[in-house]
Structure 1
Amino acid sequence: MAPEKRDQKQPQQLPPLRKKGQDAPGDDEGIPPWMATFADMVTLLLCFFVLLLSFTTQDVNNFKILMGSVSEALGVQKEDHSAISAAYAETRLKFEDRQANNKEMVEVGERLKDFIRSRDLKSIARVSREKSGVMYRVDGNALFHSGDATIRKEAEPVLRGVVDSMHHSTMNLIIRGHTDSEDLSQSVYDSEWELSAARAAACLRWLINHSDIPANRLKAVGYANAKPLYPSNSEENIRKNRRVEFFFVPSDNRAW
């Protein structure tokens, strides 16, 4: 027989199967370890941004609601295509009324300041602009004797400024009586509550008797020593706390 050629190609053989218990594949086989960590991080970031998106959407809705409220408060109108002509919004009218009230308060304050300067009343009367009106404070000793609620004759010019301001405005007036450590031993009043209320009522009665101001624009209140301006630790502070306040408020003020 002819000898078999040694250079004849041998059939290709598959690598032997790995038996149980043999070593695992090398590091170059399968998914790289860093990719699993990266995939977890990307998933967490995706959840985080989805959560942020949900919060952002909710804030936008709240912002739209807030802007709607602000627009109504400022009188911003929305176009109505179904109507031929749109009337002015009620909120716009209210906004214009507030502007008119602010202008009127400024005018009343300036008028009272001019009155104090022209009559040289700086030592007994003061004017201040409050959040909801104009305050005209007069020292109680300039209007009344201690323990009494009868207006002094020389104090009547002080009240003329109140009458003039009421005539030139549509504002209402709250008269507030304040007392502090009053000597009631010789007084007909048993308490400072009665005395302060009587003083406020006396000022109100004087305004009605010496002017044509409607009574429904006036109000009198007594506070006794419940609302002092200064602590009652000195004679000077006690004297300042004894006062009558004429508080001018807009006619549409809810507190009236």
Structure 2
Amino acid sequence: MTDDTPKRKRKCREGLPLWMATYGDMVTLLLCFFVLLVNPPIEETQRLQLIMASLNNMGVLQGGNTLESGPLAELGNNVMSLPSVTPLRRLDKARQKAVNTFKTENRREQVIITQDQRGLIISLTGDFYFIGKTANLDIQEARPILRRLASLLSSPELSNRRFRIEGHTNNTPTDPNGPYPSNWELSIARSVRVLHHLVNLGVSEDNFEVAGFADKAPIPDRLLGFDKNGKMRTAPIEGRGTKAERVDIIILRTGHE
């Protein structure tokens, strides 16, 4: 006699195994971590070093350091005030706008756009814009550039910013009987002359400071700058080298950049 009573099927437990949730979280975190590391911009080097340093000495029951704005005692630094290679994020739009504004002059090395720990620098090479060993601007050459520069400095991207104009000369002596006894007076006079022209074009002089360095802060033969696409490039300063004259208009970075 056969037993027609159906056998009870073994009931499977509903839902995923408990370990699956932890595993899924771990895989997601690893994915996010490696997405962050893959192909970072060159300016992110210092920030990545901070991230890697925060993960040091992680044990089974230990977490890493927290990356947030504020002092990092272990690193002796501050996430929001990193060295000059960190990106000036709040100046990115202004930098790209400056590159686009002066793309023709940038190719000719009449205007060179760079950045350092001070901020975004727009360099007007003096032998194009000043007449001889004087502070007199070649108005035909300089006025179109200064008009565009005034428009840039007055743009919304740079509202509430401070600017510095720095004059630089070569080491050729001035005429001691002329209006500029030395290159110190000449470099200051060039800075002030550019300031006056910018103010006449509508930029508020309250946001400016001026300085002159004579020939004591030369630029190298090859100057790091930005190309028309906003990428870093090396621009040769042919025939001028350490004697290069220029006026630097610096869009100063703020303390939290």
Q: TM-score, normalised by structure 1?
A: 0.55
Q: Distance in 2 between matches of 1:142 and 1:122?
A: 10
* Structure 1 gap ranges (5+): 1-58, 76-90, 96-100
1:107 is displaced (CA, Å) by 1.0
Instruction: Report the equivalent of 1:194.
Output: 185
Matched, 1:246 2:232: no
Q: Distance in 1 between matches of 2:216 and 2:105?
A: 31
Q: Distance in 1 between matches of 2:122 and 2:69?
A: 34
Instruction: Report the equivalent of 1:102.
Output: 88
Instruction: Give the letter aligned to residue 250 of structure 2.
Output: F
Matched, 1:156 2:177: no
Q: Distance in 1 between matches of 2:105 and 2:94?
A: 17
| 1:104-151 alpha-carbon deviations (Å, 9 max, x no partner) | 311111111111125676331111132341111111112211221122
Matched, 1:216 2:213: no
Match of residue 101, structure 2, among 115, 120, 144? 115
- Name the % identity: 17
1:165 is displaced (CA, Å) by 1.5
Instruction: Give the letter aligned to residue 190 of structure 2.
Output: R
1:183 is displaced (CA, Å) by 4.5
* Structure 2 gap ranges (5+): 1-56, 73-77, 82-86, 222-237
Contact 1:112 1:161 (8 Å CA) reproduced: no
Normalized per residue, the structure richer in strand is 2
Query: 4+ residue stretches of structure 1 with deviation over 6 A?
Result: none
Change (3 A) 1:106 1:190: same
Q: How do residues 162-173 of structure 1 correspond to structure 2 at under 5 angstroms? A: 162-168=149-155, 169-170=158-159, 171-173=161-163
CA RMSD of aligned residues (A): 3.4
Change (3 A) 1:72 1:246: closer
Matched, 1:178 2:189: no
Instruction: Give the letter aligned to residue 174 of structure 1.
Output: R
Q: Distance in 2 between matches of 1:195 and 1:145?
A: 12
Instruction: Report the equivalent of 2:240.
Output: 236
Q: TM-score, normalised by structure 2?
A: 0.55
Contact 1:179 1:224 (8 Å CA) reproduced: yes
Instruction: Report the equivalent of 1:84.
Output: none
Contact 1:146 1:182 (8 Å CA) reproduced: no
1:173 is displaced (CA, Å) by 1.1
> More displaced, 193-202 or 156-165?
156-165
Higher relative contact order (CA 8 A, sep 6+): 2
Instruction: Report the equivalent of 1:19.
Output: none
Change (3 A) 1:237 1:117: same
Q: Distance in 2 between matches of 1:197 and 1:150?
A: 12
Instruction: Report the equivalent of 1:225.
Output: 215
Instruction: Report the equivalent of 1:125.
Output: 111
Structure of higher CA gyration radius? 1
Instruction: Report the equivalent of 2:120.
Output: 134
